[in-house]
């Protein structure tokens, strides 16, 4: 029986839960005061919109959003014109937004953990898959567009 891969949304929700638990159990050094913390709402909205837009683009291009499947299209427009990983950026923006709203230092562990896991577990393999599938076209894209922002 083939083991089912854990996808990025699972790590995203885990990081969100970790952030909230750490904020309420160990609220160390509350350093973002009200109303500055409300900027977190802007980050959350940005992240949600970015993820919805990017997901729609994957569907319109009839290519996979799942990191371990072979892509059928190289998206280079919209959010992909300034970020190679807009869905991950959207998820991190949401996590940072929640952390800002909570305002404690411990809450920022979630976004950091998520970023580390995504870098180690997904991005390298995804970029290798894109290189294998699209070759020189992907290399030119990668030279032109940064990984995050």
**pLDDT tens for residues 97-114?**
999 999 999 999 999 999
Residue 92 has a CB neighbour count (10 Å cut-off) of 22
Predicted local distance difference test score (pLDDT) of residue 2: 67
Query: What residues of the chain score a pLDDT lower than 70?
Result: 1-2, 149
Cβ within 8 Å of residue 21, ≥6 positions away: none
Helical ranges in the chain per DSSP H: 8-25, 39-60, 86-102, 109-118, 124-134, 136-144
What is residue 1's predicted lDDT score, i.e. its pLDDT? Answer: 61
């Amino acid at each position: 029986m083939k083991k089912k891969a854990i996808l990025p949304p699972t790590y995203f929700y885990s990081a969100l839960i970790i952030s909230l638990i750490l904020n309420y159990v160990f609220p160390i050094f509350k350093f973002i005061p009200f109303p500055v913390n409300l900027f977190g709402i802007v980050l959350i909205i940005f992240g949600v919109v970015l993820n919805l837009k990017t997901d729609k683009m994957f569907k319109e291009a009839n290519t996979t959003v799942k990191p371990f499947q072979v892509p059928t299209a190289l998206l280079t427009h919209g959010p992909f014109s300034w970020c190679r990983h807009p869905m991950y950026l959207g998820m991190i923006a949401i996590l940072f937004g929640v952390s800002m709203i909570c305002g404690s230092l411990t809450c920022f562990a979630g976004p950091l953990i998520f970023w580390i896991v995504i870098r180690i577990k997904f991005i390298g393999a995804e970029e290798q898959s894109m290189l294998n599938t699209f070759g020189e076209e992907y290399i030119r894209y990668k030279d032109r567009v940064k990984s995050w922002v």
